[in-house]
Amino acid sequence: MDDSGAQLDHKQAIKNFQKCLKTGGILFIDHRNYDDILETGDTPAKSIYYNTSHTADIKTSVLLYCGKPAMVTMDYQIEGNNLSSEFRLSYYPHALQNFTKILKEIFGEKSKHKLYGDFKEIQVEKKPAFYIHLIEKQ
């Protein structure tokens, strides 16, 4: 979550990762495609991240604070073997452009940054469920 409105805790966490890396060290960090989730209001129930055929549904809610997305809540419904369960996860909705900007601020504009979607090269027409950032400490 973001208590400050300026993502200070998120930035500090990334700074901590950056400090742990040696020069030339690489950070892999991922996040959902919140741009698409905020646009459509849906979270894909199936993705490469989940090796399961049991995810029946993900109901998605967006909490706005002062007119801006502040939290995305996902209610998962899992079914299989005559059993069902539900659980809830809540996340800060990192927009791709803003998250990339934070990484560049912390690692430096000249840092090597590569972006993947669902573990593959980004394709303009494709909407991945997850983005994976690879950024190298200079």
With 0-12 / 13-18 / 19 or more C-beta atoms within 10 angstroms meaning exposed / middle / buried, residue 88 is exposed
Domain that holds residue 48: 8-136
Residue 120 lies in a domain: yes
* Structural domain count, the chain: 1
Residue 40 lies in a domain: yes
- Type of residue found at 31: H
Tell me, what's the pLDDT at 51? Answer: 63
CATH code, 25: 3.30.46.10
Tell me, what's the pLDDT at 123? Answer: 76
φ, ψ for residue 110 (rounded to 5)? -90, 0
Residue 1 lies in a domain: no
Residue 2 lies in a domain: no
pLDDT at 15 over 80: yes
Arithmetic mean of pLDDT, 18-45: 94
Please state the pTM of the whole predicted model: 0.87
Residue 3 lies in a domain: no
How is residue 48 annotated by DSSP?
Answer: T
Over residues 70-87, the pLDDT tens digits come to 999 999 998 888 888 999
